[in-house]
Amino acid sequence: MRQKLVSMEEAISHIKDGMTVHIGGFLACGTPESIITALVEKGVKDLTIVANDTGYVDRGIGRLVVNNQVKKVIASHIGTNAETGRRMQSGEMEVELVPQGTLAERVRAGGYGLGGILTPTGLGTIVQEGKQIINVDGKDYLLEKPIKADVALLFGSKVDELGNVICEKTTKNFNPLMATAADLVIVEALEVVPAGSLSPEHLDISRIFIDYIVKSK
């Protein structure tokens, strides 16, 4: 069996310029900060980031934005990071704002292999622009297409050596969903524990989704 616990350098060597990257977290809670630090130092650029939000200028995904490493953001909220808003207004960075529930469902659809989801959320608003409207039983819905990524960067409170993950409290947020919807999945572990020490019924992410584990620094 391949060893999943690797160095930070080895893990981020798989992240290349121009990739689409899922990043877990909610306002930097449950965000893999050590991985983001390593990406800032590496300088990988032209990334498309899929996340709930862009964190803050000095925490979370915002550090990648400030360091000019992000080409596009797909998120539900950018209000806590003034630099994201500035770059969107100036045209330096593309921002696609997606209602939070719709964003979660689009990621889920990507992970489950669905062709998309139907939702009434966003009808008659800017969210509708450029999207197909499908009528079902006399009611209109927007077709929201699935979102998959090249890489997912996740955070786990406890991760065993096989890659089983527990996300404590609100760190769970988008992490379990994003684990299913990327070609490569890297989890940052606050604590790495021996295989078999985590209770199966308490797991948030199964090891089958995890390719690499790195330790929080």
Domain locations in the chain as residue ranges: 6-213
Residue 1: pLDDT over 80? no
Give the position of tokens 């062709």. 115
Query: Does residue 35 register a pLDDT over 80?
Result: yes
Bridge partners for 152 per DSSP? 22, 185
pTM beyond 0.75, yes or no: yes
Give pLDDT tens digits for 168-193: 999 999 999 999 999 999 999 999 99
SS3 at position 179: helix
Q: According to CATH, what is the number of the domain 6-213?
A: 3.40.1080.10
CB 13 within 8 A of CB 44: no
pLDDT at 30: 98
